[in-house]
Amino acid sequence: MRIHFLGTGGYHPTERRHTACLMLPELGVIFDAGTSFFRVEGRLQTDRVQIFLSHAHLDHIIGLTYILVPLLRGGLNGADVYGSPATIDAVRRHLFSSSLFPILPDYQFHTLEEDVEVPVAGGGVVTHCPLPSHPGGSTAYRLTLPDDQRAAGRSLAYVTDTTVDGTYTEFIREADVLVHECNFSDDLAEWCERTGHSHTSQTAALARDADVRRMILMHVDPQLDGDDPLDLAVAKSIFPETELAEDGDEFEF
C-alpha cells in the first residue's frame, strides 16, 4: 500500500508545494483537503472516499469544493467528511454558504465523537486526538490496518498544525509511519508558539521519544524554498529515519 503526498505546503500554495492533502488510494482515505485536492481525481481507486479534516483553516479545506465535477461525472458515488464539531460546522456554514459556493456536493458530514473509532476499508479504523495548541485547535489522526504479522497491526499517524507539546505523544507511540508538520526550520523556532506550529529539531525529538519507526515531514512554510528548507541533517541527527515529502511523492506503508 502506498501513501500519496498530494500537497506538502502550509498556508498558501507555491510553484513547488500545494497545501496539505495526503491520500491512500487503495483505501479511499484522505487526510485534509488543501489546494492540492484537485489531484485526488486522477488517483481514485474506490468509488467513495473518506476525508478526515484536521481543522477548518482554508489551506486545509478549500479543496472540498473541487470534488463537485468527479461527483457529477460519476467517478465518485459520494464522500464522507469527518472532523470535530467546530470544523464540520465551519465547513457547512461558511465554505458551503450559498453565497460562496451555490451547489453542495454529495457529502455526508460526520462529527467526531470522543473515543469513537471510524471504520475504514479493509477492516481498519481511524482514531483521533485533539490538538489544542493551534489557533482554533486541530485534530490528529491514526489509521490502523490489520496485519497478519503483528497483533497491533500497521499504523499511520497524521499530525499537523500543532506545536510539539507532549499532549499527543502516547497517541502516536510506535506508529509505523508518523506524518508530522514541520512548518519552520530551527532558525525560525520563535514563530512556533506565536502561530501554533512546529520546527525541525522538536519534531525529530518527538519521533524519537514516541518510538515511531519512520517520520515524514510536510506542511512547510511557503516562505522557505530550496531542496532542504528544514535542514534535514538536523532532524536526522536526532531521529535518523526522517524524510521530507515533496508534492507527488509516494511512500510504502
- pLDDT tens-digit series, residues 174-207: 999 999 999 999 999 999 989 999 999 999 999 9
pLDDT at site 72? 83
Higher-confidence residue of 67 and 217: namely: 217
| pLDDT band at 81; cut points 50, 70, 90 | very high
| Helix (H), strand (E), coil (C) string for the chain | CEEEEEECECCCCCCCCCECEEEECCCCEEECCCHHHHHCHHHCCCCEEEEECCCCCHHHHHHHHHHHHHHHHCCCCEEEEEECHHHHHHHHHHHCCCCCCCCCCCEEEEECCCCCCEECHHHCEEEEEEECCCCCCEEEEEEEEEECCEEEEEEEEEECCCCCCCCCHHHHCCCCEEEEECCECHHHCHHHHHHCCCEHHHHHHHHHHCCCCCEEEECECCCCCCCCCCCHHHHHHHCCCEEECCCCCEEEC
- pLDDT tens-digit series, residues 9-42: 999 999 999 999 999 999 999 999 999 999 999 9
Asked whether the CA dihedral 26, 29, 35, 40 is positive or negative, the reply is: positive
pTM: 0.96
- pLDDT tens-digit series, residues 52-77: 999 999 999 999 999 888 888 888 98
Task: Kindly report which listed range (105-109, 136-140, 235-239) carries the lowest average pLDDT score.
Answer: 105-109
pLDDT at site 141? 98
pLDDT at site 70? 85
